[in-house]
Structure 1
Amino acid sequence: DMDLCLTLLLICLCTTADGPNGTSSNEEEEGCLSVSRRPQSREPIAAAIQKLGVQLLQNLEPTPEQQNVIISPLSISLALSQLALGAVNETEELLMHHLHANTLPCYHQSLHNILEQLTNNDLQIATRIFLRPGFKPKEGFVTESRQLYDSEPAVLESLEQINEWVENATKGQMSDFLSALPPNLLLLLINAVHFKGEWRARFDPRFTSRGVFYLDDKHMVDVDVMENAKHPLRLFIDNELEAQVASFPFQKAVSLLVVMPLSGQVNVSALSAKLNISRLNNNLPKERVVQVKVPKFKLEYAQELQEVFTKLGLGKMFSSPNLAEMADGPLLVSSVMHKSSMEINEEGAEAAAATTVVISRASSPVFHLTQPFFFALMDDMTQIPIFMGVINNPNPDAPVLQRDLGDKEKMGFPIDKNQQGFFLCENCAICELLLLHDI
C-alpha cells in the first residue's frame, strides 16, 4: 500500500493592539450557486491557481541547502481563500487580487464546486481551524469555512495535537511539523492536500540501475535510474520555451507535466515569463510509446512564506490586515509555514522528474530524465496544478562529481515487451500553516 503525496499549509493568526472594523460583502447572493456550477467557471479558477503557483516559484529561489522547490498551488490558494472569507475592504481586495480572483464572480462557491470534483479516491483535501481556548471567531466565518472549505474548528489543546493532526493527514509522512507553538497564538488554519495515484506504466525494479543526473554542463550526481522501454507518453519540443515537454498519464484523469529546458538549466524567471500550463497541455500531441528513464528520489522542502508573500505585495497581511469578518478586535497573520516532501520509486511517486528527448530514425523516441526540470502534477479535468516545482538535484546528499564531457550517456537498455506497471504518488507532503496571535 502506497503512501501519500501531500501538501500542508499552516497559517498563524494573532491579535494586535488596535485595528479597523468593517463588514465584508456576502458572496452567497442569488444566482451564485448556479453560476459557480457552470463548466466555464472552472477555467478561470484553474488559470488563477496556475498563475499564483508560477509567481511563487519565481520568488522561491533554490539555495545550497534547498536546491529543489516543491509547492502546492492548490493548497496555498485554499488557505489564502479561507483567510479571505474573514477579510474586509482593502484586505479582502488585496487577497483576492493576489489570488487572481478579484474579477471572478462567485469565486468561493466556484472553488468549492471544483474541490468537490477534485476529491476522489486518489486526492483528498483536509482543512482544520485550531482555536486558542476562549477565542471566539465570528459564527459567520466559521459557518462559511465549514460550508465552503469543509473546515471544522477545534480547540487547540497542545503542540502534540497539531503535530498528530498533520501526521494523520499526511499518512505518517510528516511528523513533528511544529517544534513549538508561537506566542500569542489565537488561530491556526491548516490545509493539507494528499494525492495517491497510480500511473499507467510500471518501472520494473529489474531494470533499475546506477546512473547520473547532470546538474549543469560541468557537474553531475549519481542517482538510481528507473527504466521503462514502453511508457505511454505525450511529448514535444516547445520552441517558445526552448524546452522538452512531456506528460505522464496517471489513472483517474491526473497527469504529470514536465518541462526540461534544452539548456540544461531551469531559469524560473525566464521560463515563467513564457510559461502557460494550459497552452502546453493543449499543444500536447497524441500519446505514444516511448523509452523512458526516470531518477528515483526522495526530497523535502520547508519554507516560511512571509518573505515571499511580502515580496509579492501581501505584506499588509503581516502588519495591519482588516480581518473583521473573522473576529472582533485586531488580528494579523504572524506566519505562513509551508512544508513538502516527495518520493519517486518503482512503485510510485508524487511529482516527477524531467528529461531529454531524443528522436531517432532508427528506434522509438527516447525521453530521459537527466537534467534540471520544472514539473506540475495536474488534474486533467479542471487543469488545476495540485503540485508544482523545480528539481535541480534529485540526490542533494550525494557528492557532486565532475562531468566528463567526452562520455556520452548510454541510451540503450533492456526491453521487456510484457511490462505493464503503475505509478503511485508516494511520500509527497506539503504543509502550510497560518497563525493569528497577540502582540
Structure 2
Amino acid sequence: MSHRKMHLTFSLVLILCGLLNSICCEKKQRSRWNIYPVSSWKISPVHHKIEAGNKAFAHKLFKTLLTEHPRKNIIFSPLSISASLAMLSLGTRSTTLTNLLEGLGFDLKVMRVWDVHHGFQSVVQLLKQLNREGRLKHRDMLFIDSNRKIHTPFLWDAEGIYGVKAHMIDFRDVEKTKKQINHFVAKKMHKRSKGFITSLNPHTFLLLINYVFFKGIWKMAFHANLKHKEDFFVDERTTVQVDMVWKKERIIYSRSEKLFATMVKIPLTGNMSIVLVLPDVGQPDSTIKEMVDQRATLLKSSDMRWVHLIMPKFKISSKIDLKKLLPKMGISNVFTAAANFSGITEEDFPAIFEVIHEAIMEVSEKGKMDTAKDMDSSNTIPCHTHRAAPLVVKFNRPFFLFVEDWGTQRTIFMGKVFNPVAEPDSTASLADSLCSLLDLHLPRFSISGTYNLEEILPHIGLTNIFNLEADLSGITEQLNKTISRVSHKAAVDVNVWGTRAGAASGLLSQPQALNATSAPQVRFNRPFLVLLWEVTTQSLLFLGKVVNPAAG
C-alpha cells in the first residue's frame, strides 16, 4: 500500500512538472519580445552603462535647449526621447546607426548594439508602468510612407521591444495626410488639437511623434484658501503677476554657495518627487548651465529641513523639433540624404525623417493630503515648541525643475520655468521657419559670373590634378593626360514672375606638351573653318566658318 502511494505521489509530481513546463513554455512564447522583465534592470550587466549614457544625453540636451531658448519655458522627457530614438535605431545601419547610438551616449566600443536594446527594457517598462498608474500619459506615434516596401521584422521589433506600433500613411497626399495625423494625434493625446502638424514634405519617409503629459499631485497639498497674486521677476526688466501658493513642510533642502543655488526636493504621490533648483539673482548663463550637471552635488549635501515654501502655479509645455536640435548635439547622419535605413527598407532613396517631441507639465496647489486637516504631528510645527523658524524659499524668479522616480532615481522630466504665465510654446513645427506677412521691396536683377578655377583651386590645396603626376585613369586610359582648364559659369535672373538660375562646369584634359618652348605657333588672325568631332565615333557634329569674330 505504501509502495502504491509513493508511486501515485511520484506520478502526480511528474504530471505537475509537465504542466508547469508547458505553462512556462507558453508564457515564454507569448512574451517573445519582452526579452528582459522590469525587475532585471538592477542586475543587468549593462545597466550602469545605459544609465550613464541616458544621464549624459539628458544633460547635453538640456544645455542645448537652454542655449537655443534662453527666454522660454522648457519642459521635456529625456528618457522618453532616448527610448524613441533607440527604437528608431532598430531600422538604421552602418554610420547612421553608430552616429545615432553614440549621440545618445552609448560607447559601441565597449557595448554591443543589442545591449542597448536590452538595457532600454527597464526604461520602456517604467514608462508603461507610470502610464498604467495614470501618473503620466506617454505615447510614441510612428508614421511610415505607405509607398515604400517595409521590412516586416522592423515592425515586429518596434512593437515587440519598444511597444511602438507603426502606421502606414501616404505622405504624397499632403492635405489628407495632415488631417489624418492631426486626428490620430488628438485622439491618442485625449485633447483638442488645432493642428499638431501644420506642414509636411510630400517626400517624407518617417515621422516620429513623441508625446508625454504629466500632472503632478503633491503628497502634501498647498494652502488652497491662501492663494494670492504676487510678482514674478522674469528678468531685470520684466515682472508678471502670478498665482502664488505656499505651505510649510519637512522636505529635503540644500544650499550651495559654490553653485549660487538653493534646492528643495518635494514628494509627489505615486513614489515620485520634484526637485526645484533656484539660482541666485543675477547668475550668468554659464553658471546656470553648470547647475544642470552639478544637481547631484546639491542632492548629496542635502538634509531634511523645515521649509516655508512659496511657489507659483504653472502649466508649461514645449514642442521641440528634434530634427533641428539633435544635429547641434552631433546626431546628424539620420537627417541627411545619406541616412541608411536599410533595416526598414531596401529601397535606395534620400529618406526624409522628421521627429517631434511634445511635453506638457501642470502643477497646482492640490495634493493627496490637505495641509490644514491631514498634517500629522511629524509634519507640523507645534506652536508651544522653541524649534527654529522654517527656512523661507520663494520661487519668484526663473527656476529649474526635475521630476524623479523614487524607486529607480531616474529623471522623467527636466525643465525650466522662465515665465509661469507665458502662453504654451507652439513655435516648433515641421516648417523650416515661421511665415510672416512682409511688405517686400526688391529690385529686378540678372547676374552671372564665369570663373577659371584652375587659377583658384591651387590656392585652397587642390594642386595635384594640374601636375604631370595626376592619376586620371578613372577618366581615361591615355597617359600624359592632365587637367589644363576648369571653368564654371553661373547665372541668376530675378524678376516679377519669379527666379531662374543655372550653372555649368567643365574641364579640359589634354596631353602635356613635351617641349613648350619649341612648340610651333599657330595664330588664327584671319577667317578660318571650325569642325567639331565626337572622338569615339569620329562623327562630325558641327561645321562652320569664322569670318569676323566680332560680328556676333
Q: Are residue 92 (structure 1) and residue 111 (structure 2) matched?
A: no
Match of 2:153 among 122, 140, 157: 140
Structure 2 CA distance for partners of 1:58 and 1:297, relative to 1, 3 Å: same
Q: How many residues align?
A: 360
Q: For residue 245 of structure 1, what is the aligned residue in structure 2? A: 263
- Greater displacement, 262-271 / 247-256: 262-271
Q: For residue 390 of structure 1, what is the aligned residue in structure 2? A: 416
What CA distance in whole angstroms lies between the structure 2 residues aligned with 1:141 and 1:64?
A: 36
- Greater displacement, 336-345 / 315-324: 336-345
Q: Are residue 56 (structure 1) and residue 70 (structure 2) matched?
A: no
Q: Report SS of the residue matched to 2:331.
A: helix
Contact 1:304 1:338 in 2 (8 A): yes
Measure how far apart 1:240 and its partner are. Answer: 3.8
Q: For residue 318 of structure 1, what is the aligned residue in structure 2? A: 335
Q: Are residue 73 (structure 1) and residue 78 (structure 2) matched?
A: yes
Unaligned ranges ≥5, structure 2: 1-34, 171-176, 368-385, 431-552
Q: Report SS of the residue matched to 1:393.
A: coil
Structure 2 CA distance for partners of 1:104 and 1:395, relative to 1, 3 Å: farther
RMSD: 3.3
Contact 1:321 1:332 in 2 (8 A): yes
Unaligned ranges ≥5, structure 1: 1-31, 349-359, 398-426, 434-439
Contact 1:199 1:250 in 2 (8 A): yes
Q: Report SS of the residue matched to 1:221.
A: strand
Measure how far apart 1:372 and its partner are. Answer: 1.4
The structure that is helix-richer by fraction is: 2
* Deviation digits for residues 53-93 of structure 1 (CA, Å, limit 9, x no counterpart): 22122222467896222222122212211121111122111
Contact 2:261 2:278 in 1 (8 A): yes
Q: Report SS of the residue matched to 1:163.
A: helix
Measure how far apart 1:175 and its partner are. Answer: 4.7
What CA distance in whole angstroms lies between the structure 2 residues aligned with 1:291 and 1:69?
A: 26
Structure 2 CA distance for partners of 1:174 and 1:380, relative to 1, 3 Å: farther
- Greater displacement, 217-226 / 141-150: 217-226
Structure 2 CA distance for partners of 1:227 and 1:264, relative to 1, 3 Å: farther
Measure how far apart 1:177 and its partner are. Answer: 0.8
Match of 1:220 among 207, 220, 239: 239
* Deviation digits for residues 292-319 of structure 1 (CA, Å, limit 9, x no counterpart): 1111223333332333222212222221
What CA distance in whole angstroms lies between the structure 2 residues aligned with 1:174 and 1:241?
A: 41
* Deviation digits for residues 110-142 of structure 1 (CA, Å, limit 9, x no counterpart): 212232134230234322322333433212211
Structure 2 CA distance for partners of 1:428 and 1:109, relative to 1, 3 Å: farther
What CA distance in whole angstroms lies between the structure 2 residues aligned with 1:430 and 1:81?
A: 26
What CA distance in whole angstroms lies between the structure 1 residues aligned with 2:420 and 2:395?
A: 10
Structure 2 CA distance for partners of 1:64 and 1:45, relative to 1, 3 Å: closer
Q: Are residue 295 (structure 1) and residue 308 (structure 2) matched?
A: no
Q: Are residue 207 (structure 1) and residue 233 (structure 2) matched?
A: no
Q: Are residue 117 (structure 1) and residue 126 (structure 2) matched?
A: yes
Measure how far apart 1:396 and its partner are. Answer: 3.4
What CA distance in whole angstroms lies between the structure 2 residues aligned with 1:142 and 1:197?
A: 34
What CA distance in whole angstroms lies between the structure 2 residues aligned with 1:61 and 1:179?
A: 25
**TM alignment of 1:367-382, pairs within 5 A:** 367-382=393-408
What CA distance in whole angstroms lies between the structure 1 residues aligned with 2:96 and 2:118?
A: 20
Q: Report SS of the residue matched to 2:276.
A: strand
TM norm structure 2: 0.58
Match of 1:37 among 37, 40, 47: 40
Q: Report SS of the residue matched to 1:346.
A: strand
Give the AA of the match of 1:191: N
Measure how far apart 1:51 and its partner are. Answer: 2.0
What CA distance in whole angstroms lies between the structure 1 residues aligned with 2:90 and 2:186?
A: 27
Contact 1:201 1:232 in 2 (8 A): no
Contact 2:150 2:345 in 1 (8 A): yes
Contact 1:265 1:372 in 2 (8 A): no
Structure 2 CA distance for partners of 1:343 and 1:114, relative to 1, 3 Å: closer
What CA distance in whole angstroms lies between the structure 2 residues aligned with 1:361 and 1:61?
A: 41
Match of 1:167 among 181, 186, 205: 186
Q: For residue 263 of structure 1, what is the aligned residue in structure 2? A: 281
Structure 2 CA distance for partners of 1:36 and 1:231, relative to 1, 3 Å: closer
What CA distance in whole angstroms lies between the structure 2 residues aligned with 1:68 and 1:267?
A: 15
What CA distance in whole angstroms lies between the structure 2 residues aligned with 1:179 and 1:258?
A: 34
Contact 1:290 1:367 in 2 (8 A): yes
Q: Report SS of the residue matched to 1:166.
A: helix
Identical counterparts, % of pairs:
26
- Greater displacement, 57-66 / 85-94: 57-66
Measure how far apart 1:290 and its partner are. Answer: 2.0
TM norm structure 1: 0.72
Larger Rg computed on CA atoms = 2
Structure 2 CA distance for partners of 1:108 and 1:280, relative to 1, 3 Å: farther
What CA distance in whole angstroms lies between the structure 1 residues aligned with 2:342 and 2:90?
A: 10
